[in-house]
C-alpha cells in the first residue's frame, strides 16, 4: 500500500487510482474510510473482501453534493430538509436507489446510504471523483480507525490526513418515508427528526 500525505497532488493521484479500479483509504470528518468507484463491480467486491464484510450488508456512498445524491436516489421533502440542515456532515441518509446501474454494480436491493461528508481531504477527493463507496477502513467488527497508522486493510493507496478528532461514525437515518423517518444508528450527530 502506498501512503501519501493528503494534498492536492496526492488527491489527484488517489482519484486516478479510483478511476482505474483501485481502492483508496482516506480521512473523513468521522473516521478513516475506504472507497472505490461505486460503478465498478470488481472494486466494490474487493472492498467486501478486504473488510471481511458480509455481502448482505450494503455499502454506503459518499457524494460531493445533495444534488448528486438526488441524481442516484429518491430524496423526498423530509430527507431533503435533513440534507439541507446537516450536510456536509456526519449524517448518512438511507434512500430509495433510483440509479439502476449503481444498484447493479453495488448489489443493492432497493436502498442506499448516502452522505455528503465535511473535511478537507475527503471533500477534495469528492470534488474530483464526485462519488465513492465510503465505508470505515477497518476489518468488520474491529474499531474504526482515526489515524492513518490504524489502517491495516489491503488498499492500493492511503491518504494520510493525520488524526481525526472525535472518531465516531456517522449517524444513520432511514429517510425513505417522509412521515416515518427514524434513526438507524446513533453516531457523531444528534439529529432532530
pLDDT band for position 62 (cuts 50, 70, 90): very high
Is 60 within the bounds of a domain? yes
How many structural domains does the chain have? Answer: 1
Peptide bond into 88 cis (omega under 30): yes
What predicted TM-score, i.e. pTM, was given to this entire model? 0.96
Question: Quick check: is 68 in a domain?
Answer: yes
Q: pLDDT digit string (tens) for 119-170?
A: 899 999 999 999 999 999 999 999 999 999 999 999 999 999 999 988 899 9
Residue with cell 464526485: 130
CA distances (Å), origin 190, targets 85, 90, 170: 12, 10, 10
Residues 6+ apart with CB under 8 A from 125: 11, 14, 15, 24, 26, 132, 159
| Inside any domain, residue 193 | no
Query: From residue 35, how far is each of 26, 43, 58, 59, 90 by CA, in Å?
Result: 8, 9, 13, 10, 17
Q: Does 127 map to a domain? A: yes
The string of pLDDT tens digits covering residues 76-111 is 999 999 999 999 999 999 999 999 999 999 999 999
- Residue 192, in any domain of the structure: no
Mean pLDDT for the stretch of residues 49-69: 97
CATH of the domain at 141: 3.90.870.10
Residue with cell 455481502: 55
In a domain, 191, yes or no: no
pLDDT, tens digit (0-9, with 9 covering 90-100), for 14-57: 999 999 999 999 999 999 999 999 999 999 999 999 999 999 99
Q: Which domain holds residue 77?
A: 2-185
Rounded Cα–Cα distance for residues 170 and 190 (Å): 10
Q: What is the pLDDT of residue 192?
A: 79
Write down the pLDDT at residue 193.
79
Q: Which residues contact 106 (CB under 8 A, 6 or more apart)?
A: 38, 41, 44, 58, 59, 61, 112, 133
Segment holding 124, helix H or strand E: helix 120-129
Amino acid at each position: 500500500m502506498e501512503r501519501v500525505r493528503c494534498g492536492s497532488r496526492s488527491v489527484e493521484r488517489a482519484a486516478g487510482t479510483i478511476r482505474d479500479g483501485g481502492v483508496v483509504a482516506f480521512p473523513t470528518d468521522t473516521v478513516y474510510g475506504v472507497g472505490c468507484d461505486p460503478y465498478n463491480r470488481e472494486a466494490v467486491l474487493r472492498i467486501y473482501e478486504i473488510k471481511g464484510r458480509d455481502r448482505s450488508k450494503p455499502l454506503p456512498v459518499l457524494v460531493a453534493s445533495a444534488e448528486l445524491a438526488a441524481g442516484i436516489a429518491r430524496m423526498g421533502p423530509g430527507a431533503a430538509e435533513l440534507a439541507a440542515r446537516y450536510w456536509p456532515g456526519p449524517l448518512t441518509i438511507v434512500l430509495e436507489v433510483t440509479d439502476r446501474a449503481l444498484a447493479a454494480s453495488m448489489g443493492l436491493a432497493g436502498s442506499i446510504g448516502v452522505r455528503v461528508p465535511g473535511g478537507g481531504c475527503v471533500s477534495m477527493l469528492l470534488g474530483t471523483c464526485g462519488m465513492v463507496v465510503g465505508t470505515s477502513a477497518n476489518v468488520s467488527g474491529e474499531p474504526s480507525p482515526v489515524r492513518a497508522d490504524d489502517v491495516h486493510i489491503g488498499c492500493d493507496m492511503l491518504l494520510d490526513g493525520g488524526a481525526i478528532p472525535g472518531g465516531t461514525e456517522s449517524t444513520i437515518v432511514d429517510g425513505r418515508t417522509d412521515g416515518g423517518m427514524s434513526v438507524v444508528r446513533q453516531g457523531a450527530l444528534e439529529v432532530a427528526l
